[in-house]
Amino acid sequence: THVYFTTYDGAEGGVHRVPREGGGLETLVDGLDHPSQLELIAGTLYVSETGANRIVRLPTGGGALEVVATGQG
């Protein structure tokens, strides 16, 4: 139902989504240190935060960010 993607402006990044059928941008989390790869598994987004050498996860509808692995650089 949504398209998920990361952004990075050179200072900080975020994870966002937009409805597939069109509509407004929704920011799920911001303030990440160079988010890059994104994987969606069973309603959970996993994000490689390369600037912090860690992998984080969060629910697709937004919510608390959880660190699941560190030292992954």
pLDDT confidence of residue 62: 80
Residue among 43, 37, 35, 42 nearest 63 (CA): 43
Distance CA 10, CA 34 (A): 8
pLDDT confidence of residue 63: 86
Instruction: Compute, in degrees rounded to 10, the torsion defined by CA atoms 55, 67, 63, 35.
Output: -30
Distance CA 61, CA 12 (A): 21
DSSP-derived 3-state class of residue 35: strand
pLDDT tens for the chain, 73 residues long, are 899 999 999 889 999 999 999 999 999 999 999 999 999 999 999 999 998 999 999 999 888 999 999 986 5
